[in-house]
Structure 1
Amino acid sequence: MIMKPSIPKGTRDFSSTELAKRNFIFDTVKRSFQLYGFEPIETPSFENSSTLMGKYGEEGDRLIFKILNSGDFLRKVDENLYAEKDSKKITSKISEKALRYDLTVPFARYVVQHQNEIVFPFKRYQIQPVWRADRPQKGRFREFFQCDADVVGSDSLWQEVEFVQLYDAVFSDLGLKDTVIKINNRKILSGIAEIIGAKDRLIDFTVALDKLDKIGIDGVLKEMRNKEISEEALDKLMPLFELTGSNQEKMSALSDLLSESEEGLKGVAELSFVMEQIENLGLTSSSLKLDLTLARGLNYYTGAIFEVEANGVQMGSIGGGGRYDDLTGIFGLKNMSGVGISFGLDRIFLVMEELNLFNNAPNPRPDVLFINFGEQEAAYAMKSMKWLRNEGIRSEMYPSAAKLKKQMNYANSKEVPFVVLVGEEEIKQKTFKLKNMASGEQVTCNQEELIRLIGS
């Protein structure tokens, strides 16, 4: 029995039309990255497990795809350990490598390994796929692209200001006019945890808070209770969910709430600086919103954190990032502060599809198709296509002298805008019969006119 072909859940095939749209996003993002002074790098699709594990928290570690060692890997496992059937204990014995979960940790590893070749502050961008063993759903895939920009070697808050502007620039160029850039600060969250008496549960606190959009307030409170955060602490937390008003009004209330937390007030000061500078500079089409429930569950964030949402589309975040003060420290390079943001290409693609924003994306179709009437006509067409292509005109010839109807149907199915028909008379006169497939109009023209008509 022949098996029906399939692909793993959470992965996708892309047609030429879809790829043209995706490349439009890639090119737009890359252009802005370069305008802002970022340099490209690439890292391997898989890393040593020791590089990745323990950097994303317990939940993140669960979602890392592990790669089995080559050869007879089970032979090296102790029989008693194997008999326990404990996957967590056995994994490190049979898997030493893993697919990258994001681009930030591999970037930190890159910085440490190449520190003697890098000029700091180092501004890099990276556009590559990542993999997560997550449950597939709308906008959430197991293989997807991230478009990251980071700066390491500077703790200046002007970097955060510039990243907000970069988000605004990219989404403006893509036609996403109503994006909301949400901002918070992990020091503020640490201060809140301190005030409510849950400082020793900071990771549990932020991981649960980060799920607010998915499971709601009741779900977050339930998860915190399961992590043994006290009812007294949860009662003190409730005002956080009830803060309303402008960014300035929220900041004022937050300053009062965190008056006894030095770290919390430091976060307020950092956030105030960024928001004041953005207000002075202005944004083209995005808005900056203080969201005190924004947590981002990744453990390495230490300062400002960002998430971006598109108004009018139920998709979740289409970008995110933040400040990490010592991510390279885990690889031996201390005191190397960094900050970065990521664009979620796959979700951006889905949002733009839903909002019909791909009008400016290039079409992958040929500009012109030459009809094949036989060997002599095909040879004439091949010579003609050579100079058309030199002019940047995408040209194709039907590969065989099939019936005219079949060749015209082929052109229609590919939505080719122009067809060239060349017979003995055209070859003698060195002319071309050009048909506009939309209007049905046919004209006879020379080489220069052909280029002008197709290219117009």
Structure 2
Amino acid sequence: MAQKPSIPKGTRDFNPEQVAKRNYIFTTIQNQFEKFGFQPIETPSFENSETLMGKYGDEGDRLIFKILNSGDYLNKVNDGIYNEKDSNKLISFISEKALRYDLTVPFARYVVQHQNEIEFPFKRYQMQPVWRADRPQKGRFREFYQCDADVVGSTSLWQEVELVQLYDAVFTALKLAGVTIKINNRKILSGIAEVIGASDKLIDFTVALDKLDKIGKEKVKQEMLDKGISQAGIEKLQPLFTLSGDFGSQVSQLKDILSNSEEGKKGIEELEFIDSTISELGLETAQLELDVTLARGLNYYTGAIFEVSAPEDVNMGSIGGGGRYDDLTGIFGMPNMSGVGISFGLDRIYLVLEELDLFPEQVSKNIDVLFINFGENEALYSLKAIKQLRHNGVNAELYPDAAKMKKQMQHANKRNIPYVVLVGEQEMSKSTFTLKNMLKGEQSEISLSELITQLQ
């Protein structure tokens, strides 16, 4: 007996209703991207390994899916390397390509490769799948979509302001209230590392700090100690763990902590500009909140850092994130190209909308009307009407087989089709159609023009 087929862990099939709901999110985000002047691009699903490796830190590199070379991929491996059985040494011989981990690094590669064709500042959006060899859990998949918007070629903080507004516009359009846009600045983190005497361990420090809400204060401190940050330095961090109050009061406390760090003070200035401007412009749905423990363990952020949290009554991780990267393209030979971008986590946004029952009813609508098939002549008569209905914006179809009427009606019910049309010899002789409302059970005999009007 053949084994039942399955799919890899962390991946999913999507039924028609789910695809319709996902497309609703895609369309909503895309509409807002284009309102803000972003242009679409696409990049390959896999890149050369050297494009991706080393861009996400050690933790990110471990989560990159490597693709085995075609053909006899062990042919180039000498016996010494093979017998060591060290996968880190072996991988460069047997794998030259990898599935993309995110859309930002491929975008940086795109900018460098196409720099002579691009008008800067360049605002791009991209909505494509990415892959991570992560441990699957609720809201965390190995294959998932990202919806990114980035601006490169400008250091202006007005771009950060616009991206906060863009987040707000998308969640307003999705009618998702209670979203929090958390913001921090990498310069503040660098300043804190400087103050505690851990400038040479900035990445270790930020990776640990980023885990505060997941593992708690004591475990974060222990991780920092394990990474070689002194106990005295960690004690200086204590005020960070107890920061409270609104944006302004937290900034005031930060100024005291970072009074001896020029880098830290620069980060505070940038945050104050963004906050004061957003306060002036206002947000419709989201709220902007300072979170000085927000680190995001990626190597390339240099300024503002964003992370978006779902409403408090939903048990979900972040549903978006991003930040400023001053020289990401430098890793591909194009220095001093500043950029800033944000990402929407489509799959998690889907789960939030589903949990809060925020999908509009019409999103899952497929067919407005099904024509019952009573035979060849009736089918042809029906198809002529279906053509006119489609021209007038009505989703209509003919049941393909002249099966028993009961079976065709059951098919309409199972697909939640609101109307069926019955056409027999009587209707054809009078050029009419019998329209049945499946919910109410009512039916009436009407002309084609009346049928179009009613179904519209």
TM tier, smaller: over 0.9
User: Which residue of 2 is the match for residue 320 of structure 1?
Assistant: 321
TM-aligned CA deviation for residue 429 of structure 1: 0.5
User: Which residue of 2 is the match for residue 209 of structure 1?
Assistant: 209
User: Which residue of 2 is the match for residue 356 of structure 1?
Assistant: 357
Aligned: 1:178 with 2:178: yes
TM-aligned CA deviation for residue 364 of structure 1: 4.0
Aligned: 1:13 with 2:13: yes
Q: Using the alignment, how far apart are the partners of 2:216 and 2:422 within structure 1?
A: 64
User: Which residue of 1 is the match for residue 422 of structure 2?
Assistant: 421
TM-aligned CA deviation for residue 228 of structure 1: 1.6
SS in 1 for 2:248: helix
User: Which residue of 1 is the match for residue 284 of structure 2?
Assistant: 284
TM-aligned CA deviation for residue 398 of structure 1: 1.1
User: Which residue of 1 is the match for residue 103 of structure 2?
Assistant: 103
Listed one character per residue, the Cα deviations across residues 365-421 of structure 1 (whole Å, up to 9, x for unaligned) are 211000111111111111111111111211111111111111110000000000000
Q: For residues 145 and 248 of structure 1, do their structure 2 counterparts lie closer, same or farther at Cα, with a shift above 3 Å needed?
A: same
Listed one character per residue, the Cα deviations across residues 98-125 of structure 1 (whole Å, up to 9, x for unaligned) are 0000000000000000000000000000
User: Which residue of 1 is the match for residue 194 of structure 2?
Assistant: 194
Report if aligned partners of 1:21, 1:361 keep a CA contact under 8 Å in 2.
no
Listed one character per residue, the Cα deviations across residues 232-273 of structure 1 (whole Å, up to 9, x for unaligned) are 111111110101111100001101110100100000011110
Counterpart mapping for 1:323-334 below 5 A: 323-334=324-335
Identity %: 68
Q: For residues 142 and 285 of structure 1, do their structure 2 counterparts lie closer, same or farther at Cα, with a shift above 3 Å needed?
A: same
Q: Which runs of 5+ in 2 are unaligned?
A: none
SS in 2 for 1:77: coil
Q: Using the alignment, how far apart are the partners of 1:252 and 1:360 within structure 2?
A: 47
User: Which residue of 1 is the match for residue 142 of structure 2?
Assistant: 142
Report if aligned partners of 1:20, 1:361 keep a CA contact under 8 Å in 2.
no
Listed one character per residue, the Cα deviations across residues 291-314 of structure 1 (whole Å, up to 9, x for unaligned) are 000001110000000000111111
TM-aligned CA deviation for residue 214 of structure 1: 1.7
Q: Using the alignment, how far apart are the partners of 2:15 and 2:146 within structure 1?
A: 20
Aligned: 1:35 with 2:31: no
User: Which residue of 2 is the match for residue 71 of structure 1?
Assistant: 71
Listed one character per residue, the Cα deviations across residues 136-167 of structure 1 (whole Å, up to 9, x for unaligned) are 00000000000000000000000000000000
Q: For residues 361 and 193 of structure 1, do their structure 2 counterparts lie closer, same or farther at Cα, with a shift above 3 Å needed?
A: farther
The amino acid that maps onto 1:102 is D
TM-score after normalising by structure 2: 0.99
User: Which residue of 2 is the match for residue 118 of structure 1?
Assistant: 118
Q: Using the alignment, how far apart are the partners of 2:42 and 2:320 within structure 1?
A: 20
TM-aligned CA deviation for residue 63 of structure 1: 0.2
Q: For residues 123 and 430 of structure 1, do their structure 2 counterparts lie closer, same or farther at Cα, with a shift above 3 Å needed?
A: same
User: Which residue of 1 is the match for residue 441 of structure 2?
Assistant: 440
User: Which residue of 1 is the match for residue 373 of structure 2?
Assistant: 372
SS in 1 for 2:219: helix
SS in 1 for 2:307: strand
Could you tell which deviates more after superposition, 391-400 or 248-257?
Answer: 391-400
Q: Which runs of 4+ in 1 moved over 6 A?
A: none
User: Which residue of 2 is the match for residue 453 of structure 1?
Assistant: 454
Q: What is the root-mean-square deviation of aligned Cα atoms in Å?
A: 0.8
SS in 2 for 1:75: coil
Q: Which runs of 5+ in 1 are unaligned?
A: none
TM-aligned CA deviation for residue 361 of structure 1: 5.0
The amino acid that maps onto 1:409 is Q
Q: Using the alignment, how far apart are the partners of 2:218 and 2:448 within structure 1?
A: 71
Listed one character per residue, the Cα deviations across residues 56-82 of structure 1 (whole Å, up to 9, x for unaligned) are 000000000000000101011010011
Q: Using the alignment, how far apart are the partners of 2:455 and 2:215 within structure 1?
A: 55
User: Which residue of 2 is the match for residue 401 of structure 1?
Assistant: 402
The amino acid that maps onto 2:172 is S
User: Which residue of 1 is the match for residue 80 of structure 2?
Assistant: 80
Q: Using the alignment, how far apart are the partners of 1:186 and 1:174 within structure 2?
A: 30
User: Which residue of 2 is the match for residue 54 of structure 1?
Assistant: 54
The amino acid that maps onto 2:390 is R
The amino acid that maps onto 2:240 is L
SS in 2 for 1:221: helix
Q: Using the alignment, how far apart are the partners of 2:217 and 2:374 within structure 1?
A: 70
The amino acid that maps onto 2:244 is T
SS in 1 for 2:403: coil
Q: Using the alignment, how far apart are the partners of 2:245 and 2:361 within structure 1?
A: 38
Q: Using the alignment, how far apart are the partners of 1:360 and 1:257 within structure 2?
A: 51
Listed one character per residue, the Cα deviations across residues 328-387 of structure 1 (whole Å, up to 9, x for unaligned) are 000011110000000000000000000000025522421100011111111111111111
Could you tell which deviates more after superposition, 136-145 or 354-363?
Answer: 354-363
TM-score after normalising by structure 1: 0.99
